A and B are shown apart, each in its own frame.
Chain A
Amino acid sequence: MEVGSLLDNLALGYSVAVTLQNLFWCLMGAIIGTAIGVLPGVGPVATMALLLPATYYLPAEGALIMLAGIYYGAQYGGSTTAILVNLPGEASSVVTTLDGYQMARQGRAGPALAIAAIGSFFAGCVATVAIAVAAPPLTRLAQEFAPADYFSLMSLGLVFAIVLARGSVLKAFGMVFLGMLLGLVGTDVNTGNTRFTFGIGDLFDGIGFVPLVMGVFGIAEIMANLTNAERRDLVSSKVSGLMPTREDLKRSIAPILRGTALGGLLGILPGGGAVLASFSAYTVEKRLSRTPEKFGTGLIEGVAAPESANNAAAQTSFIPMLTLGIPSNAVMAMMIGGMMIHGIIPGPQVMEQKPGLFWGMIVSMWFGNLMLVVLNLPMIGIWVRMLLVPYRLLAVAILFFCCIGVYSLNNSANEVLIIAVFGVVGYLLMKLDCEPAPLLMGFLLGPMMEVYMRRAMLLSHGDPMVFLQRPLSLAFLLIAVLLLLFIVVPNVRKAREVAFSE
């Protein structure tokens, strides 16, 4: 793709992103994201689900810019809690606690926070450019896709979701199937028959995505968090001396670069995203280091790499969503939900039909990252104080926001009952150590796959070989099979377990 049109696109995006209104929504997203990132037990998925109904009242651009800001904002905020309190605010900051908290105990919380912010900002900038460069060619490729190709790509996506899920592979399989079955509830769009509705009128339109997510992620998490007694040891309420030394900076450059590259790549994978990226980046740094035994004692590399990686991944995970309309993780599924609320069908046509929205959102990410550096470094004291709000009060507030959020979708009290049901289901799955992410992927992709399967079969006059005859479709299926074979091989499985348990 030529440089000229890239600049044109970015200029168009700039004109959309830099309106007073959209900058405001970007700032709101960044602030909310940082806040929930700082608070342990409140994740971006549940928050976006909460705010999804409210975005109905915003223009589409503002809504998506804000939702995006929440995701990458949460990656920033999560590191603050990890470093200062030794509690990961987000799952993607778990590894940051290892060296970040040790640095804080040695009185070097300032440099750790600063490096986390600098690394994140750098990664965010690079990832924004990566999206802008990669999106147009991928979109063109996507327009060549036949129904069979889409079906196979989605199968591959589900396989990725299984491979990358933590814990048991078998359970991840079951969760995908369960999710797909849940996705089938309601009226079959092709034939008009209803499935699994038990004659309940509210289920004829299917189980809503937002009630499902709020139940499984929001309500179930409150139940689990109220069980665990609270323990927060703030290392120091005041952070002095933010500036890292020249030595710190020098040692951080390479880890930031590697973390950005690795995170950017892992973010694109379906089922991947920020969590996997930060774990892998930390492992890579440990392998490459001349002093691997010092990791965990407060090495700045152990903060720089994972924090860059999770932010890069948070942003590149937008690529499959924007170009193919396929969510690569639960957060992207929320973004798709946000688009649907505004009547935008995600997919390759978005870039052509709504160029302002598409490029505006990408450019806003850069501004969002800039705002986050400003929000995080000088205002760190305010965020730390937020940790003083006890969870017993937060829980009550979150519960209320879940209820009113779902109610406001259709002014339907029955949908609030659905989150009660899925709250219990989510808690049960948590107890059984079944990760809900594959379930969500199945729920989203299942109905889409059925539509594409039917189209492909119709076009091929009932010949299932069509999935193997088209080269793209065959390639996707082969990769899926290879991946599945890989996780059955004991060696790879062991490596995967090590990577996730570290």
Chain B
Amino acid sequence: MRIRNGQDLATGLLFIAVGVAALWIGADYPRGTARNPGTGVLPFILSWCLIGTGVLLWLKSLLVEGPALTQWAWRPVVMITLATVAFALLIDRLGLVVAMLASMTLAALGTPETRWGEYALFTVLMIAVAIAMFVWGLGMPISILPRELAWR
């Protein structure tokens, strides 16, 4: 059979995969009794509901015409994800300024439209605003610079 709707097929397979995984992981959660339903009841029901929906979508993708999958925009997805991860890894270790510089630069690499002069100016401004707002204003317990460089 011909796949008429790539988007529905992919969605269906995703739902089935998540449902099967949840069913498998949740298999040994206790189900309890009708009077006192246990930990495993809702995961069990929901997993099957998700699998069922996935199967229906799969069938639909064979029968009904629809949009195909479109290209992923890898550059922004990868760079924005890296930017977020960089912030998470650096904020506790090296402080706000380094975390911001790293994550904002990675984010700026996510689009070809970035103009670096403008970006540098904007970053300095953002760092100043962030320090004033979050560290001094709200008193959040973050170090501004890496501890070795900090003056206090």
* A residues in contact (CB < 8 Å) with B: 54, 57, 168, 170-171, 173-174, 177-178, 180-181, 184, 188, 190-191, 193, 195-196, 219, 222-224, 226-227, 230, 390, 392-393, 395-397, 399-400, 402-404, 407-408, 411, 413-414, 416-417, 419-420, 423-424, 427-428, 431-434, 446, 450, 453-454, 457-458, 461-464
Contacts and interface: CB of A to CB of B under 8 A. Distances in A.
Given A173-B53, A174-B54, A396-B104, A408 B130 contact: no
Interface string B14-27: 11001100100110
A417 B29 contact: no
A301 to B, nearest CB: 34
Contacts of A54: 138
Interface of B: 7-8, 10-11, 14-15, 18-19, 22, 25-26, 29-30, 33-39, 42-43, 46-47, 49-50, 53-54, 56-57, 60, 67, 69-70, 72-73, 76-77, 80-81, 83-85, 87-89, 91-92, 99-100, 103-104, 107-108, 110-111, 113-115, 118-119, 122-123, 126, 130, 134, 138, 140-142
A413 B89 contact: yes
B50 A414 contact: no
Contacts of B11: 171, 174, 432-434
Contact of B50 (A178, A196, A424): A178
Nearest to B110: A226
A178 B57 CA distance: 15
Contact of A226 (B100, B111, B123): B111
19 contacts: A54-B138, A180-B42, A195-B43, A219-B81, A223-B77, A223-B80, A390-B113, A392-B114, A393-B118, A396-B107, A399-B103, A400-B126, A413-B88, A413-B92, A420-B84, A420-B85, A423-B84, A432-B7, A462-B34
A416 B88 contact: yes
B37 A396 contact: no
Where chain A touches its partner, the secondary structure class is: helix
The residue among B47, B54, B70, B114 with the most chain A CB atoms within 10 A of its own CB is B114
Contacts of B115: 392
A432 B12 CA distance: 10
A411 B140 CA distance: 9
A146 B100 CA distance: 50
Contacts of B34: 457, 462-464
Given A196-B22, A454-B36, 6 more contacts: A170-B8, A181-B43, A181-B47, A195-B29, A224-B76, A227-B73
Report the 7 A-B pairs with minimum CB-CB distance, sorted nearest first: A462-B35, A416-B88, A462-B34, A227-B73, A226-B76, A420-B84, A174-B53
Contacts of A402: 84
Nearest to B140: A408
Contact of A423 (B56, B81, B134, B138): B81
The residue among B18, B76, B100 with the most chain A CB atoms within 10 A of its own CB is B76
B37 A457 contact: yes
Contact of A396 (B7, B108, B130): B108
A87 to B, nearest CB: 17
A58 to B, nearest CB: 10
Contacts of A433: 7, 11, 67
Nearest to A415: B88
Given A219-B84, A417-B85, A432-B11, A458 B35 contact: yes
Contact of A404 (B7, B33, B107, B134): B134
B131 to A, nearest CB: 11
A402 B142 CA distance: 16
Contacts of A419: 84
Given A184-B46, A392-B113, A403-B87, A461 B35 contact: yes
A417 B72 CA distance: 22
Given A174-B54, A392-B111, A431-B69, A399 B80 contact: yes
A211 to B, nearest CB: 11
Contacts of A414: 88
A457 B35 CA distance: 5
Nearest to A54: B138
Nearest to B11: A432
The residue among A170, A180, A434 with the most chain B CB atoms within 10 A of its own CB is A170
Contacts of A392: 108, 111, 113-115, 119
B126 A230 contact: no
Contacts of A408: 134, 138, 140
Contact of A174 (B15, B69, B87, B89): B15
A400 B26 CA distance: 36
B39 to A, nearest CB: 4
B50 A174 contact: yes
Contacts of B110: 223, 226, 395
A376 B129 CA distance: 26
Contacts of A454: 36-37
Contact of A411 (B37, B88, B118, B141): B141
A212 to B, nearest CB: 14
Nearest to A173: B53
Contact of B103 (A224, A390, A400): A400
Nearest to B54: A174
Contacts of A195: 26, 29, 39, 43
